[in-house]
Amino acid sequence: MRLILPLISALLLGCAPKAVPPETMPQVPDWSVDRDALPGGTLRALAVAYTGSAERLVVQGGGSERLSLPVWVYVFEHPTEGTVLIDAGFPRRTSVSTADYPGRQMAKLLSVTMEPGAAAVDRLPEAGLDPAEVRHIVLTHMHPDHVAGVEDFPAATLHVGPGEWEAAFRGGALGKPDTSPFEGRQGVQHVDFAGSGAYGPFEGHRDLFGDGSVVVMQAGGHTPGHMAVMLNLKGGSWLFTGDCAWVDRHWQEPAPKSALVRGLLEDDWRLNWANQWRLHVFGQAHPELVIVGGHEAATATKLKPWPQTME
C-alpha cells in the first residue's frame, strides 16, 4: 500500500508541471585535456543486468514500446591506483534470486532480469582481473542498481557525493530500500565539492586521484548527491551521466523524463532537468566527447564489447 497510493496519487495529479528549458541556460563550456600528462589505463564496459519499462515512463511523450535498460558497470584499470569501478550494479545474490535482492516487489516493479554468474565480481576474471584487487568504486549515486554490487568488493574504497550516504538510508516514495549491501561499510570517502570550481558545464568537481584521469562532477537532482563521472584516457574521454540521463534522448534533445518519474522519484527534478541541459550543451560543444547515458542500450555500440578495452 505504501507503494500503490503514491503511484495512484501521482498519476491523478499529473505529478509535475511541464518541463521547460531552464531560465538560465548553461554557457558553452571551456574544456580541454592535456592527454600527454594523463597516466593512461584502460576502460571496459560490462552490462550485468537489465531492467524494463514502457518508453512513456522513461521519456515524456514516449510510446508504449517496451525498453530494455541495461545496468552498466564500467571498469577502469589505473596504472597505479589499480582497478576502479564506476558504479557496481547488482550483486551476486541478485543473479541467484532477484527476490533476495532488490526484493520481490522491487524486482517486479523494475522488471529486473539477471543471469546467474552475471555480477561484476564473477565477470572480472574474464578480463584477467582479480575481484579482490578492486581498490575503488565511484558511485554516481546510491540507488540499488548502482550501489548494491559493492557488497561483493568489501575491501574497495567507496566514493560518494555529499549527502548521498545519508539519503540512501532514508528511502523515498517507493519505501525504504534494502541497505544491507552497504551497512557498516568501512572506507567511504564523501566527495566535498566546496570551493572546487567548475569543470565543463558543472559547477563543482573533484579530481579523485590528482592526475586528471577520474573527475567527478556535481550533478544533483536525481538524488541529493548524484555525480557525473569523467574518465580521461590517452585516446579519448568518456562522460558517464549516471541517472541524470537514463537514455541518450535525455541529454541529446534534451527530452525530460516522464512527469510521473520526475514528480515521484527524483529528489529535485528541476535541478536534474537543468543538468540534462548542461550535458546537452557540453555534448554539442565537444562532439569528440563520448557521453554515456546511465541505462542506454546503445552504449553497447559506443563502447567495445566486454572484455575488450578502450585506451
Count of CB atoms situated within 10 Å of the CB of 188 = 13
Q: Which of 128, 191, 134, 124 is nearest to 159 (CA)?
A: 191
pTM for the whole thing?
A: 0.92
Confidence (pLDDT) at 108? 93
Find out whether 238 and 292 touch, Cβ atoms under 8 Å.
yes
Architecture of domain 34-177+185-302: 4-Layer Sandwich (3.60)
CA distance 253 to 182: 36
191 is written with which cell numbers?
A: 566527495
Confidence (pLDDT) at 141? 98
CA distance 39 to 71: 28
Confidence (pLDDT) at 48? 98
173 is written with which cell numbers?
A: 516514495
The one-character DSSP state at 48 is E
pLDDT tens, N- to C-terminus, the chain (311 residues) = 344 434 444 443 344 446 777 777 677 778 999 999 999 999 999 999 999 999 999 999 999 999 999 999 999 999 999 999 999 999 999 999 999 999 999 999 999 999 999 999 999 999 999 999 999 999 999 999 999 999 999 999 999 999 999 999 987 766 678 999 999 999 999 999 999 999 999 999 999 999 999 999 999 999 999 999 999 999 999 999 999 999 999 999 999 999 999 988 899 999 999 999 999 999 999 999 999 999 999 999 989 999 999 99
Residues paired with 71 in a beta bridge: 49
Backbone φ and ψ of 15, nearest 5°: 70, -55
How far is Cα of residue 261 from the mean position of the Cα atoms in its chain?
A: 16
How many angstroms separate the Cα of 207 from the Cα of each of 6, 231, 232? 39, 10, 11
Confidence (pLDDT) at 14? 43
CA distance 179 to 256: 29
Confidence (pLDDT) at 171? 73
Helix intervals (H) in the chain: 4-13, 55-58, 92-96, 104-110, 120-123, 144-147, 164-170, 248-252, 259-265, 269-285, 299-302
